[in-house]
Structure 1
Amino acid sequence: GATAVEDKLQNGVPECIDKLAQAGIKIWVLTGDKMETAINIGFASSLLRQEMKQIIMNLETPHIKSLEKSGIKDEIELASRESVVKQIEEGKALLAASGASSEAFALIIDGKSLTYALEDEIKKTFLDLATGCASVICCRSSPKQKALVTRLVKSGTGKTTLAIGDGANDVGMLQEADIGIGISGVEGMQAVMSSDISIAQFRYLERLLLVHGHWCYSRISSMICYFFYKNITFGVTIFLYEAYTSFSAQPAYNDWFLSLFNVFFSSLPVIALGVFDQDVSARFCYKFPLLYQEGVQNILFSWKRIIGWMFNGFISALSIFFLCKESLSHQLFDPNGKTAGHEILGGTMYTCVVWVVNLQMALSISYFTWVQHIVIWGSIAFWYIFLMIYGTMAPSFSTDAYMVFLEALAPAPSYWLTTLFVMI
């Protein structure tokens, strides 16, 4: 009789790898399988294609085999090292000869050759060869070699590395990579326990990277840019007021207004943006994998975009300050003949800041949910509620904000008109 063990790919692996390749992600396979099995896996997973030219590195030369029979260790190591260097140079020559042609190369190297290729004197040229190939397969790799290859790519290219594995042999690789993903399965939970993220099947990597990866990059970059915007808008109005008062140390806003701006009146919409926003749908991410390159090329978090948001905040602050100052300083503020003091000007400016930064957030959001509606309009409403309640407290506590809303701001049409014009 005979016993056979079938080791097959999970469902969706070829399609997943093809999508990741379309997204511009470079995929290396580090496996303990023998070379023939690794090549078959490469073809089955769409990592290797028939039109690819394979650069195979191994130590199966007649000269090295004869030395292995003689058992002279030093000569074997010297010949093996020279053979690896020669094969690397020949591979680089093939890449150089291909020039800018569309011919794709695949590098396939066994564990013995990899031992010498990872030596300090050789690893730089080996990395140059490997990065020039469309696909790389390292077979008969030990757990240590998997970790060393990951470290070489991470330190040699400066790129973000992601390792995915399902067994104890992959633990070192998962820990060495910037991001380690463990697949829970029949090979135990060692990989999962040593990873940053756990998934049940390899095909889930497609959604993790192309959808959630893109969303997270878009959310975080927008969130940080908006934090710059709202704080510059708030801070510059304070600076302009200080300059307007000849730096007399008279604050533009009440102390509680200053303390609560980033706590209750502007931060919750930003947090909701960072959690729920979707610039494109999941279906769109699947259909156009190249959207993933937005994060790789840092398009949404470039200095140009950051400075643009900062400039927007500066312009918003100028508009708020000068419109409020000019609309309130040369007229009677209420029918009783009262003119606008610093508490009225400060309250009006603060109201305009709260409205402007939250409306800017509403315009920036791509995907509205009920959470965004609650936090944006709720932040604005809470400002009026707070101002009304705080102003009714004892003057010793509310200081210059005592009854400022109920008796000064709310009855004055100029307060509401100024707020409306600033928003427009």
Structure 2
Amino acid sequence: FAIGEFKFLRRLLLVHGRWNYVRQSKVFLYSMHKNMVLTMTLFWFSFFTAVSGCSPYESWVYSAFNFILGLPIIFFGILDRDLSADFCLSLPQTYSTGRTNVLLNIGSILQWIGNAMMYAVVVCLMSYNVLFPTFYFLDLYTAGTIVMIGLVIALQFKVMFFHHQWSSYQIHSMLFSFYAMFLFYMLIAASVDDYWNYAIMTYNEPITWLWGLFTVPFTAVFIDWFAYFSRYFLFPTQEMIYREMEKSEEYDDLNRLTCLSAQGSYRKPKHPQDSQDPHQRLIAQREIEMT
């Protein structure tokens, strides 16, 4: 592509380049995460079936997993912005997120893999162990559909959890994904012989709504909530600090004075301590740190 003037390069790199890196990194990590969770639920289920390879999911229900969860993460990858454009321009250090590959390094990927393992353990322990006596009174596909509903909603909650802003497109995609799941299972039950009428039987089970719609998803997302706020208060990342800076009064002063500096409204002191104005000392100190 061509850049008409070099002045456009600053915004292209510091704003759009960073936004794109953060969004696409999380899209990749989430896509890996959700497929790993689904695979691990099959792995743990195999121990209840003497490692026979039997699946609790009907093949169409299993195939619809990525289709149902696809739309919310697509809109996240297009529209989400973790920091405002003004903040990224006033504090160029934010570009180091992509330059140092903070979100796609080995440590970050291993954290997401560990999180996927925890999700699978929670879903399987709560669905296979806690509900195991109940499964004696339910057929295989009904029990599997209950597990799938809980898994899908838990992963939808995960997408909601790492959103930084919401637009009408993102809200509608989440609602569409939620209702499309139940509608799609109804269509499968009406057209596939092996799954005939299973959706109706599943929806008529009170445990579907108590367990699949509330208990499993909220328990799974509690893992993310606990991990995030533990790190937020104990070991905050640089991105967390940036988001707090954006909300603080210090950023408001810095942003205002950066605009004044661009307009030539104040004289830059040689050293921060040379100025009696605390605002000038602040922006001068920031400029020294940037260099």
Normalising by structure 1, we get a TM-score of 0.49
Please, which of 106, 109, 119 is the counterpart of residue 303 of structure 1? 106
Query: Partners of 2:168 and 2:182 in 1: how far apart?
Result: 21
Please name the residue that 2:205 is paired with.
412
Please name the residue that 1:50 is paired with.
none
Query: Partners of 2:71 and 2:39 in 1: how far apart?
Result: 19
Say which structure is richer in strand. Answer: 1
Please name the residue that 1:371 is paired with.
169
Mapping of residues 214-233 of structure 1, within 5 Å: 214-233=18-37
Contact 2:72/2:174 (<8 A) preserved: yes
Contact 2:151/2:216 (<8 A) preserved: no
Instruction: String of CA shifts for 1:89-122, please: whole Å, max 9, x gaps.
Output: xxxxxxxxxxxxxxxxxxxxxxxxxxxxxxxxxx
User: In the alignment, residue 211 of structure 2 is paired with which amino acid?
Assistant: T
Query: Partners of 2:28 and 2:133 in 1: how far apart?
Result: 39
Mapping of residues 86-235 of structure 1, within 5 Å: 197-235=1-39
Contact 1:211/1:285 (<8 A) preserved: yes
Structure 2, unaligned runs of 5 or more = 219-291
Task: Tell me which structure has the larger Cα radius of gyration.
Answer: 1
Instruction: Confirm whether residue 286 of structure 1 aligns to residue 286 of structure 2.
Output: no
Mapping of residues 246-325 of structure 1, within 5 Å: 246-262=50-66, 264-325=67-128
Please name the residue that 2:46 is paired with.
242
> Relative contact order, CA 8 A, sep 6+: which one is greater?
2
Query: Could you say what the CA RMSD is over the residues aligned between the two structures, in angstroms?
Result: 1.5
Contact 2:60/2:188 (<8 A) preserved: no
SS at structure 2 position matched to 1:345: helix
Query: Partners of 1:418 and 1:301 in 2: how far apart?
Result: 34
Instruction: String of CA shifts for 1:47-80, please: whole Å, max 9, x gaps.
Output: xxxxxxxxxxxxxxxxxxxxxxxxxxxxxxxxxx
Please name the residue that 2:274 is paired with.
none
User: In the alignment, residue 54 of structure 2 is paired with which amino acid?
Assistant: Q
Residues 215, 320 of structure 1: alpha-carbon distance in 2 compared, 3 angstrom cutoff: same
Mapping of residues 53-68 of structure 1, within 5 Å: none
Contact 1:242/1:252 (<8 A) preserved: no
Query: Partners of 2:54 and 2:68 in 1: how far apart?
Result: 23
Q: CA deviation at 1:242?
A: 1.8
User: In the alignment, residue 356 of structure 1 is paired with which amino acid?
Assistant: A
Contact 2:45/2:128 (<8 A) preserved: no
Query: Partners of 2:131 and 2:203 in 1: how far apart?
Result: 14
Q: CA deviation at 1:249?
A: 2.6
Q: CA deviation at 1:289?
A: 0.5
Structure 1, unaligned runs of 5 or more = 1-196
Q: CA deviation at 1:243?
A: 2.2
Q: CA deviation at 1:241?
A: 1.2
User: In the alignment, residue 79 of structure 2 is paired with which amino acid?
Assistant: F
SS at structure 2 position matched to 1:231: helix
Instruction: String of CA shifts for 1:22-65, please: whole Å, max 9, x gaps.
Output: xxxxxxxxxxxxxxxxxxxxxxxxxxxxxxxxxxxxxxxxxxxx
SS at structure 2 position matched to 1:199: coil
Instruction: Confirm whether residue 388 of structure 1 aligns to residue 186 of structure 2.
Output: yes
Q: CA deviation at 1:297?
A: 1.0
Identity of aligned residues (%): 27
Please name the residue that 1:402 is paired with.
196
Query: Partners of 1:345 and 1:234 in 2: how far apart?
Result: 15
Please name the residue that 1:330 is paired with.
133
Please name the residue that 1:171 is paired with.
none
Query: Partners of 1:374 and 1:360 in 2: how far apart?
Result: 16
Please name the residue that 1:28 is paired with.
none
Query: Partners of 2:216 and 2:193 in 1: how far apart?
Result: 27
Query: Partners of 1:317 and 1:229 in 2: how far apart?
Result: 10
SS at structure 1 position matched to 2:2: strand
Say which structure is richer in helix. Answer: 2
Query: Partners of 2:206 and 2:39 in 1: how far apart?
Result: 27
Contact 1:277/1:367 (<8 A) preserved: yes
Normalising by structure 2, we get a TM-score of 0.71
